[in-house]
Amino acid sequence: MKKSDFFATAPKGMEPLLADELRELGISSVAETRAGVAFEASLEQAYRVCLWSRIANRVLLPLATFPAPSPEALYAGVRSIRWAEHLSAEGTLAVDFSALQSQITHTHFGALKVKDAIVDQFREATGIRPSVARERPDVRINVYLRRDEATVSLDLAGESLHRRGYRQEGVEAPLKENLAAAILLRAGWPEIARAGGALLDPMCGSGTLPIEAAMIAADIAPGLLRPYYGFLRWKGHDAGVWASLIAEAQARRAQGIKHLPPISGYDADPGAVRIALVNVEHAGLQGKVHIERRELANMDAPRSHQPGLVVVNPPYGERLGQVDELRHLYKALGDKLKAHFEGWKAVVLTGNPDLGKHMGLRARRIHTLYNGAIECKLLSFDVIPEWYMGYHARSVEAAATGSSIASSSEPHSEPLNSATAPCVALTRPSMDSTGAEMFANRLRKNLKNIGRWAQREGVHCFRLYDADLPEYALAVDVYEKWVHVQEYEAPKTIDPAKAAERLSVALAVMPDVLGVPAANIFLKVRRQQKGKSQYVKQDAAGNFYEVHEGNCKFLVNFTDYLDTGLFLDHRPTRALIQSLAKGKRFLNLFGYTGAATVHAAVGGANATVTVDMSNTYLAWARRNLALNGFSDRKHEFIQADCLEWMENEKQRYGLIFLDPPTFSNSKRMDNTLDVQRDHVMLIKAAVRLLERDGVLLFSNNNQRFKMDREALPGLQIEDISRATLPKDFERNPRIHNCWKITQA
């Protein structure tokens, strides 16, 4: 069969994949060039490329090459081609024109000159002329002008081959089908699929990667569903050859789909899931490709499937401010891979390679691909189990015996503030050793009791010591391998020098007793503050540490703020929120760093809203959600005065957590909020937002607080303060107040 020269175009970075693909299609004369691959083939082979190439954008059949340094030369060269051999006078045409390093730089003008040359030839010969059709013309003509030399080609594809015909809808910035195929080929998916390995895309969007994976694994021609090709109404078209190729592809599909390995896609966005299901159905893969709504936080390996491939195209963080949140999303992805996908392969496409470093996995191979104009890196991993996670359990056990520790916690005393200081040099104090031994013995005793309790209950962050000895007025909280120490301000009757000496003793004892490096001990001095001074940032170190609470993870900061970002006395309350949240819309008022919101999301809340006046804390809350694998799609963060916001809110909620500060500034009430004075108004405003069978959890840390039940008729108010008081805070039960409130 006669052979001709052809040129297949491809996105930047995919040329080597296209060259390999053409060789696999039986084409031996292949030359990889910039933006594509030149090859010599028969018409049947060119048709096969159109039908079977997963990488190419277009397949061009060059008709002529000639100098075109001027519009006149371009016109003359195009008109010299015998267009009647390709197009009828009554037909339709379209012209694509591009130029590089040439005298003609205006592409629209160049396209018009080409069109004029063609229609003028027909009008002179027949008296009639073809018309222009922008969409699906009888013939699409491609002209490439480089250094004043024009190459005129027929576009056999007619429109980009990445349009497979199954995508009816797309999500924002969808992944193009040929880029998805390139990702899968670079990942070694064909070999994994042949071995029976499964595939999972935990952020599948409109389903492109799972669908393309299924088409590869089932030997489905990517162009089989396309209703249009540029050669179908071309006068040189061989309909018999094309029909034979279609029949072959249909037979291969029928056989290949019987052996399809498990392929799944998850996404947190219900709209994306709906679109993906429609696309799967249009691809003829319903029942073959599984799509479901699932957050990254709930990602695990498909059961009963042998290890395969996890493929992900996560967000890149193109806007300023997104990257901080995405670091935790990438870390959550890495944590999930290490925890549940031992022995699997994984590939991640990212336009921000620095984000990939937060996954905690070493890429064994990196390829460059382009998602549109964005240069991306395809990171390939062999997933290694997360053995280091066992370290935490061992460290808590060591804490119980008093040898070493790696657990964590932080105190909450609402009206107090803190002044941070470095850990100071832990030199041996000058006083006698009696006081030091007394304090050390109390720490050991508490480690034995509270440490064992923490290990048994799976508590990672806890209060170890809370001014148990009057001489040592400290709160000592353990945060995995860090210790947060707060010195309560000494009364004026205590000699400041004596107080400083006792603090020095305590700090000198802690590293040995707790088995923690001095650098991992952080000190704050808490003192009563008034007015706005209680909200002043203490430092700007910007160091955050990841700690665990049950099945959740949080970022804490030991130096920069009033508190660390995690109120330890609320641990059982947050667990209660998680247990009540499933299927409900959750509202977190005075949301702080969003710890309650994380628990609600992990518990299966349909949606969450977190309201706080501080944009700093809301950004922190977003990072905590991302750390646990949740996107912003159904989790809203609102910077507002909670009192004013509640007055204007119309939405109803099935679960509300109201945890106001003891005292705060508020625009709503003459610049102050007092929880004792204003709690009735706060509760009424929150109850107004409850669904009929909804639950309000109201909490505060005012040790003298009294609930005014008589001012709240029609409500069932259950005091659950004791039930939600954790064991490590039992020494001071008045630190924590909590009520469960429902409508009678």
- What confidence tier does 556 reach under pLDDT thresholds 50, 70, 90? very high
Report how far residue 542's alpha carbon sits from residue 537's, in angstroms, rounded to the nearest whole number.
Answer: 11
Per-residue model confidence (pLDDT) at position 476: 95
Q: What angle do CA 691, 697, 703 make, to 5 degrees?
A: 155
Q: Are 328 and 183 members of one domain?
A: yes
Given 369, 385, 401, the domain boundary residue is 385
Given 334, 366, 385, the domain boundary residue is 385
- What confidence tier does 406 reach under pLDDT thresholds 50, 70, 90? very low
Q: Is 553 helix (H, G, I), strand (E, B) or coil?
A: strand
More reliable by pLDDT, 327 or 233: 233
pLDDT digits (tens, 9 = 90+) for 482-533: 999 998 876 666 777 777 888 888 888 999 899 899 889 998 876 544 444 4
Tell me whether residue 243 is in a domain.
no
- What confidence tier does 316 reach under pLDDT thresholds 50, 70, 90? confident
Tell me whether residue 461 is in a domain.
yes
> What is the dihedral angle through the alpha carbons of 638, 641, 643, 646, rounded to the nearest 10 degrees?
-20
In the chain, how many domains are there?
Answer: 4
Residue type, 464: L
- What confidence tier does 734 reach under pLDDT thresholds 50, 70, 90? confident
Q: Are 200 and 334 members of one domain?
A: yes
Tell me whether residue 542 is in a domain.
no
- Tokens 């594509």 belong to which residue? 36
Q: Are 295 and 437 members of one domain?
A: no
Number of other residues whose CB lies within 10 A of the CB of residue 324: 15
Q: Are 508 and 411 members of one domain?
A: yes
Average pLDDT over the chain reads 87
Sign of CA pseudo-dihedral 340, 345, 350, 356:
positive
Per-residue model confidence (pLDDT) at position 1: 67
Tell me whether residue 172 is in a domain.
no
Residue (of 168, 113, 136, 116) closest to 283 by Cα position: 168
φ, ψ (nearest 5 deg) of residue 351: -85, 0
Tell me whether residue 578 is in a domain.
yes
Tell me whether residue 246 is in a domain.
no
Q: Which residues contact 734 (CB under 8 A, 6 or more apart)?
A: 703
Q: Is 62 helix (H, G, I), strand (E, B) or coil?
A: strand
- What confidence tier does 170 reach under pLDDT thresholds 50, 70, 90? low
Per-residue model confidence (pLDDT) at position 304: 61
- What confidence tier does 417 reach under pLDDT thresholds 50, 70, 90? very low
Rounded alpha-carbon distances, angstroms, from residue 374 to 98, 173, 370, 551, 677: 21, 12, 6, 36, 56
- What confidence tier does 34 reach under pLDDT thresholds 50, 70, 90? confident
pLDDT digits (tens, 9 = 90+) for 300-310: 887 766 789 99
Q: Is the pLDDT of residue 686 over 90?
A: yes
pLDDT digits (tens, 9 = 90+) for 247-274: 999 999 999 999 899 999 999 999 999 9
Q: Are 451 and 517 members of one domain?
A: yes
Per-residue model confidence (pLDDT) at position 410: 33
Q: For position 107, which CATH number holds?
A: 3.30.2130.30
Q: Is the pLDDT of residue 68 over 80?
A: yes
Per-residue model confidence (pLDDT) at position 423: 36
Q: Is the pLDDT of residue 78 over 50?
A: yes
Q: Is 690 helix (H, G, I), strand (E, B) or coil?
A: strand
- Percent of the chain whose pLDDT exceeds 70: 88
- What confidence tier does 153 reach under pLDDT thresholds 50, 70, 90? very high
Q: Are 370 and 405 members of one domain?
A: no
Report how far residue 148's alpha carbon sits from residue 144's, in angstroms, rounded to the nearest whole number.
Answer: 10
Q: Is 287 left (phi over 0), alpha (psi -120 to 50) or beta?
A: left
Tell me whether residue 403 is in a domain.
yes
Per-residue model confidence (pLDDT) at position 306: 79
Q: Is 142 helix (H, G, I), strand (E, B) or coil?
A: strand
Per-residue model confidence (pLDDT) at position 491: 65
Residue (of 417, 14, 60) closest to 183 by Cα position: 14
Q: Is the pLDDT of residue 432 over 80?
A: no
Most confident among 168-177, 401-410, 655-664 (mean pLDDT): 655-664
User: What tokens appear for 451 in the block?
Assistant: 């440490």
Report how far residue 13's alpha carbon sits from residue 19's, in angstroms, rounded to the nearest whole number.
Answer: 12
pLDDT digits (tens, 9 = 90+) for 584-622: 999 999 999 999 999 999 999 999 999 999 999 999 999
Per-residue model confidence (pLDDT) at position 411: 33
Given a contact cutoff of 8 angstroms between Cβ atoms, the answer to whether 216 and 193 are in contact is yes
Per-residue model confidence (pLDDT) at position 211: 98
User: What tokens appear for 548 in the block?
Assistant: 């665990």
Tell me whether residue 227 is in a domain.
no
Q: Are 35 and 101 members of one domain?
A: yes
Given a contact cutoff of 8 angstroms between Cβ atoms, the answer to whether 98 and 144 are in contact is yes
Given 343, 367, 385, the domain boundary residue is 385
More reliable by pLDDT, 643 or 404: 643
Q: Are 406 and 527 members of one domain?
A: yes
Report how far residue 506's alpha carbon sits from residue 443's, in angstroms, rounded to the nearest whole number.
Answer: 10
Q: Are 486 and 578 members of one domain?
A: no
Q: For position 322, which CATH number holds?
A: 3.40.50.150
Please state at what angle helix 615-627 crosses helix 595-602, rounded to 10 degrees: 30
- Percent of the chain whose pLDDT exceeds 90: 71
Number of other residues whose CB lies within 10 A of the CB of residue 241: 17
Q: Which residues contact 439 (CB under 8 A, 6 or more apart)?
A: 469, 471, 472, 505, 506, 509
Residue (of 550, 553, 422, 537) closest to 485 by Cα position: 422
Domain that holds residue 184: 177-222+253-385
Per-residue model confidence (pLDDT) at position 394: 35
Q: Is the pLDDT of residue 196 over 70?
A: yes
pLDDT digits (tens, 9 = 90+) for 359-378: 989 898 999 999 988 899 99
Q: pTM surpassing 0.75?
A: no
pLDDT digits (tens, 9 = 90+) for 79-101: 999 999 999 999 999 999 999 99
Most confident among 19-33, 306-320, 321-335, 491-505 (mean pLDDT): 19-33
Per-residue model confidence (pLDDT) at position 384: 65
Q: Is the pLDDT of residue 166 over 50?
A: yes
> What is the gyration radius of the CA atoms in the chain, in angstroms?
34
Chain centre distance of CA 477: 32
First to last CA, the chain: 86
Q: Are 266 and 373 members of one domain?
A: yes
Q: Are 149 and 133 members of one domain?
A: yes
Q: Are 88 and 103 members of one domain?
A: yes
